[in-house]
Structure 1
Amino acid sequence: MRYAYTAAPLAFALHAAAYSTDSWTFGYGFWMGPPASGQITKATYSIAAPSVPQNATVKDSSDEVWTSIWIGVSATESGDTDSLYQPLFNWSPDQESQGCSATAEEWCVAASTYTSSGQVGQAYVPVTEDAQVDFEIYVQDNKVYQIVTMNGKVVSKQNDALTNPLQYLYASDECYTGSGTCGTLPSYSWNNITITLSEADQNFGGTLEMIGSMSSSGFSSSDGGKTWHADAVVFPTDDFTADS
């Protein structure tokens, strides 16, 4: 929800997964890019709704804790002058405080973009337990389109102006600590990740960087470097307190 990468990837490389002064904290994550030439034109990926965070605490209901997990694409490796197109999986002990009608045992999902003016997103949609959620982000006519599909039905979509050619794909889990603590986010995985480039780059798969004990079999290409695919990238259990 907030731009996680105003201090990364350098911060990732330095294992800087610590609490920020404004009550945001970032856990595990990965990134890829930039391509040798051209840009990212499309990214698709899926998730089976994981278990919700456990043992989060809230002292003041007017300052709720929330956790987001996401994959997004951007033109830059850091800073917030370029938009980060990032459909969000979001959870809070009080989902209504975040504009979602889900229970505390469910996630919420929405197409969303972090811009230089702040977060711009659609209304959250409850995610049923174990639902298959598919995401598509693609560039067309100088716009970036997001489509979120749950169990085969489109539930959220959005398009925004393309600020600059997309060079990086990022993923992270993050928590706003609010008046309490984040608790523990159970392990989960992003699945069936495919990235399409405008020009072939046989070395793009080698740009994958992951924090700490994350795991993946890596990205491979069957068409000379224009399309890259990974079966999964696995995020371990995260309590948002340990250096990764």
Structure 2
Amino acid sequence: MFAVLSLITALASTAIALPAPALEARDSWGGSVSLGPTKSSIISAVTTLTPGVAPSTQGGELFLWPGISNGTGDLIQTTLEQWPDNSWCGAVAGEWCVRASLFGSFGQLDGPYSLVKGDDQVKIVYTRGEAVSGGWTRTQNVTNAVTGASLSTFSHMSGPMTGWGTGTECDDGCTGTINEQTYANTVITLEAADTTFGDTIATAAGATYTGLSSSEGGKVWTIATIKVPAIRSS
């Protein structure tokens, strides 16, 4: 069964130097829902995350994300982040920074970043594009689901992806989430039908889901809602 922790096996021990902080420490975990590995390959994944208000202050690092990976290679991950100082994206107390990122043996690569308020609905779309040497062009598009405003985007070559999962990370003694996170209208499309993909669903730390269903003979999988409870500080 696909576990959320397997999504991060591709993380490198160091990250490329960027104006924004790099996601290095991975200490403890809150609630999660995951699917995989599939017998096929993921060609697209769409979800809308409403994060809730971030803690008023932060002593560590707090990350919320949906990711896709094959457990041994790259990790495609758009992350909502709270650091002790989130001014790098223009966020103030109670707000998040968001950016599309890719992790692998090369370290960390990022798209542009934006601020996100607690009640914003953040639509995160992962798509597989044209075949290139070594894999496919994979694109992350992050928008405000209500206004359509672009929040981040990133494209890079990656290989096949077989698992999808949410993550809630509380690192370096962070202040944990104080509100429930919700994921709405999650749709994962596979290259070929896999009627057993739904059997791999797993939850952890009080996270719940409703409305798991499939269509097109097991090629398209939908989760109506995912709810991840607030967590305590690590």
TM category, shorter: 0.7 to 0.9
State the one-letter code of the partner of 1:184. Answer: G
Maintained 8 Å contact 1:3/1:114: no
2-structure distance, mates of 1:167, 1:84: 11
Shift of 1:154: 1.9
Which residue number corresponds to residue 43 of structure 1?
Answer: 45
Shift of 1:43: 0.0
Shift of 1:187: 1.7
Maintained 8 Å contact 1:102/1:127: yes
1-structure distance, mates of 2:92, 2:185: 28
Shift of 1:232: 1.1
Q: Residues 118, 165 of structure 1: CA spacing in aligned structure 2 closer, same or farther, 3 A cutoff?
A: same
Q: Count matched residues.
A: 208
Structure 1 residue 161 and structure 2 residue 161: aligned?
no
Deviations 1:62-115 (Å, cap 9, x if unpaired)?
A: xxx221100011122xx5xx110001111123112xx22110221111111112
Structure 1 residue 89 and structure 2 residue 80: aligned?
yes
1-structure distance, mates of 2:137, 2:70: 13
Structure 1 residue 24 and structure 2 residue 27: aligned?
yes
Which residue number corresponds to residue 139 of structure 2?
Answer: 145
Structure 1: which 5+ residue stretches go unaligned? 8-21, 59-64
Maintained 8 Å contact 2:94/2:117: no
Shift of 1:129: 4.2
1-structure distance, mates of 2:113, 2:6: 19
Name the SS of the counterpart of 1:50 in structure 2: coil
Q: Residues 155, 102 of structure 1: CA spacing in aligned structure 2 closer, same or farther, 3 A cutoff?
A: same
2-structure distance, mates of 1:52, 1:122: 22
Q: Residues 209, 129 of structure 1: CA spacing in aligned structure 2 closer, same or farther, 3 A cutoff?
A: closer
2-structure distance, mates of 1:238, 1:75: 27
User: What is the correspondence of 1:212-227 to structure 2 with a 5 Å cutoff?
Assistant: 212-227=205-220
Which residue number corresponds to residue 184 of structure 1?
Answer: 176
Structure 2: which 5+ residue stretches go unaligned? 11-24, 131-135
Shift of 1:233: 1.1
Shift of 1:3: 8.4
Aligned-pair identity in percent equals: 28
Which residue number corresponds to residue 171 of structure 1?
Answer: 166
Q: Going by fraction, where is strand more abundant, 1 or 2?
A: 2
Shift of 1:54: 5.3
Structure 1 residue 230 and structure 2 residue 223: aligned?
yes
Name the SS of the counterpart of 1:205 in structure 2: helix
Shift of 1:171: 1.3
Report the TM-score when normalising by structure 2. 0.81
Maintained 8 Å contact 1:47/1:191: yes
State the one-letter code of the partner of 1:198. Answer: E
1-structure distance, mates of 2:128, 2:213: 22
Q: Residues 227, 156 of structure 1: CA spacing in aligned structure 2 closer, same or farther, 3 A cutoff?
A: same
